[in-house]
Structure 1
Amino acid sequence: MKKKTRILLFLFLAMLLFISCRKKEELREKKKIKIGISLYDSYDTFISDYMKAFDGEVAEKRSKGYEVSVSRYNAARSQALQNEQVEEMLQNSCDVLCVNLVDRTAPSEIIDMAKKKNIPVIFFNRELVEEDLSQWNRLYYVGADAKQSGVLQGELIAKDVLEDGEGENGAVTLSPEVDKNQDGKIQYIIFEGEPGHQDAIMRTEYATGTLMKESIPLERLGYGIANWNRAEAQSKMMQLYSEFQDRIELIISNNDDMALGVIDAYDKIAVSKDNRPLIYGIDGTKVGLRAVEQGNLRATVYNDGRGQAKALFQLAFQLASGEETKGEEGGIRKIIRLPYSKVTKENCAEFLEEEERDSKQ
């Protein structure tokens, strides 16, 4: 009897040991993940800062004993090249793909390739068309609401344009600081990111739409397509200034880099700060925040790239490792959007301090 009991005890302990080793092996496997990333343009200032924050999340996970491998590609604004990069990442057995689309209207080839391999795809920053996101249940999006950024930019402008910050019974009094020629309307120029790009369209539409809701009389002198790029914006601004010169009272830019390009142009033309129009951006990049602090950029709208990078990494890790965090509706959220914030000279120090603190971590 004792011998039989010893045998049973031995078998029980052996089974426990087997289960323990199996669990340890499973845990070890779960701690190894491979993430593939393709960027529309790695030289974009906002995307560059975004990826630095993403790298910080990767480093933190690695410090906890996880083996996180990241393969990163620059599509250099070519959708064809990005498609090739996605194919290569799939061939290299990435567990999850993070794609910053070049052309938001052309994700189908990427989706088809990932679907065949059953590899989830997280699109980020540049939102694809809603119908495309519903093509497959393993597609996700991390970003922000472009409409909100336009509304907030419009509100920032309206506060500065209106005398005392508000209109009264539909009749408005414009600030002489902005309406320099005192003609009762604001002459402005728009700097747009890309032709047909959703964020550019929404930011422009809702910024100007917000001003119209405030009954602010507007006259658009012109616009420049500068592809989110500082150097292109500088060149466009030089051309526009030669045509309109001091008639320009307001410049609305879809992002900080183009707004900074406008500032560069005014520096090159040697127009004093007092004689420049008010210039507004969106994104709240480090260079943009410093320009607000220095009074060169009137205001910007903070796009929480660090928060988005954290959300992107967490989602990628969950999908790659099989860990599933329950969301409000009982599963991983298909769409994650973080809110924008207004930034003026009065509060930009808070955002700069936070940026500096995070960069040191």
Structure 2
Amino acid sequence: MKKIKKKICSAAALTLGAALLLAGCGSEDGGQKEIKKLKIGISVYDQYDTFVSEIVSYLQAYAKEKEKDWGISITLDVENANGSQMIQNDQMDGFIRDDMDIACINLVDRTDASTIVEKAQASNVPVIFFNRELVEEDLERWDQLYYVGADAFESGKMQGEILVEECKKNFSKIDKNGDGILQYVMLEGEAGHNDSMVRSMSVISEITDRGYLVEKLSDEIANWNRDQAANKMKQFMEKFDDEIEVVLANNDDMALGAIDALTAAGLSTKDENWPVVLGIDGTTVGLEAVEDGKMLGTVLNDAKGQARGMLELAYSIVSENSLPEEFELLDGKYIRMPYQIVTVDNLGEIQMKLMK
């Protein structure tokens, strides 16, 4: 496969300073390679991760739509690595044997991308990593490696903003013991996972930077998993009981696990001891929990936008065509979709957006 030749397009002046905009960059000769098919190998770290499965569903739906628009056949080979980096490495071998035009990899271990990178480069198969961001040094090892996702810091900050805005309106209701301090527990994704670490840090920074005092009662790793989170929340409740005022979860599945444990203990949202629960991702089930009042809010991680960005980028790479303007390729490597705060106040608007 011929490599894309990247170039920097003309700069546009921005107010209060000049900045370079990378947009509409195609092959150096401005041409487009005619293709009749697009074969994409997709490996996900865990098919039971709600958010990742939603990305795949959106990707499959968008591929059917774009087959007609582009006049080509699109084949998606979706594989589950089942939490094993070794299995995922083998799946990359399979993609190469099956002559996939490109691979989309949702890394099991973000710090262990070397094998996939080496296999891809040796076989000249471009790779789009998605959702679980690899180490920057690995992404720079070859010019045919890309990443589609979002900025984890932004999601944690927005999660903190949701709590801050609620505190402005109902602090005395949240601060059940009246000590002026928010007692919280945290459910974290994975040890060493970039999104987990950054979200955990930035949410607390946002809350304290806005002038609120916090006290961490406990935090536990729940591996993005609803059942694990329910077990951890049960342990929190056995130890701290009604001291828990806020539950901060790195994703919606873990927030829902906390809600499962609260419900199993016989609590309802009408009870005084029901804590504020916050998630991240804006999954379908997460949005339902916001609608039901079980979760104060979540942060929409644009699964639909990421899926579309991946497919558009894959087509752009293989056909040597330019990306649509809505997807900016930052530093020739990254597509980052923005997050969006979701509370009951804008829930209907978000749900309508996702239905389009």
Give the 5 Å matches for 1:141-152: 141-152=147-158
Q: Is the 8 A contact 2:60 2:76 kept in 1?
A: no
Alpha-carbon separation, structure 1, partners of 2:205 and 2:331: 35
Percent identical: 44
Q: Distance in 1 between matches of 2:152 and 2:124?
A: 30
Is 1:120 the counterpart of 2:126? The answer is yes
Relative distance call for 1:234 and 1:95 in structure 2 (3 A) is same
Q: Tell me, which stretches of 5 or more residues in structure 1 are unaligned?
A: 1-25, 165-173
Q: Residues 81-230 of structure 1 correspond to what in structure 2 (within 5 A)?
A: 81-162=87-168, 164=169, 175-230=171-226
Structure 1 residue 233 and structure 2 residue 229: aligned?
A: yes
Whether the aligned pair in 2 keeps the contact of 1:326 and 1:332 (CA below 8 Å) is: no
Q: Distance in 2 between matches of 1:331 and 1:239?
A: 43
Instruction: Name the SS of the counterpart of 2:172 in structure 1.
Output: coil
Q: Alpha-carbon deviation of 1:50?
A: 0.9
Q: Which residue of 1 aligns with 2:320?
A: 322
Whole-Å separation in 1 of the counterparts to 2:328 and 2:205? 34
2 CA distance for matches of 1:87 and 1:218? 48
Is the aligned partner of 1:352 residue 2:348?
Answer: no
Question: Max radius of gyration: which structure?
Answer: 1
| TM superposition shift of 1:145 | 0.3
Report deviation, 1:330.
9.7
Structure 1 runs, 4 residues or longer, greater than 6 Å off: 326-332
Q: How does the TM-score come out when normalised to structure 2?
A: 0.86
TM-score computed with the length of structure 1 as normaliser: 0.85
Do the aligned residues in 2 keep the contact of 1:291 with 1:297 (CA within 8 Å)? yes
Q: 2:41 aligns with which of 19, 29, 36?
A: 36
Q: What residue in structure 2 maps to residue 284 of structure 1?
A: 282
Q: Following the alignment from structure 2 to structure 1, what is the Cα–Cα distance between the partners of residues 190 and 331?
A: 32
What stretches of structure 2 of length at least 5 have no aligned partner?
A: 1-32
Corresponding letter in the other structure for 1:192: E
The size of the alignment, in residue pairs, is 320
**Alignment-mate amino acid for residue 87 of structure 1:** D
How many angstroms does 1:58 deviate by? 0.8
Give the distance between the partners of 2:319 and 2:329, measured in 1 at CA. 18
State the shift of 1:70 in Å. Answer: 1.4
CA distance in structure 2 between the aligned counterparts of 1:90 and 1:260, rounded to whole angstroms: 38
Cα distance per residue 1:195-220 (max 9 Å; x no partner): 11000001010000111111211110
Q: Residues 68 and 215 from structure 1, CA distance in 2 versus in 1: closer, same or farther, beyond 3 angstroms?
A: same
- For the structure 1 residues 237 and 58, does the alpha-carbon distance in structure 2 shift closer, same or farther, using more than 3 Å as the test? same
Q: 1:329 to 1:255 in 2, by over 3 A?
A: closer
Task: Write the distance in 2 (CA, Å) between the matches of 1:313 and 1:294.
Answer: 34
Task: Letter of the 1:236 partner, please give it.
Answer: K
- Any conservation in 2 of the 1:154–1:207 contact (CA below 8 Å)? yes
C-alpha RMSD of matched pairs (Å): 1.8
After the TM superposition, which of the residue ranges 225-234 and 271-280 deviates more from structure 2?
271-280
1:252, CA displacement in angstroms?
0.5
The question of whether the paired residues in 2 share the 8 Å contact of 1:293 and 1:349 is answered with no
Greater RCO structure (CA 8 Å; 6+ sep): 2
Per-residue CA deviation, residues 119-174 of structure 1 (Å, 9 max, x unaligned), is 11100011111111111111000000000001111111111123x4xxxxxxxxx8
Name the structure where helix makes up a greater proportion of residues: 1
Give the residue type in structure 2 aligned to 1:33: L
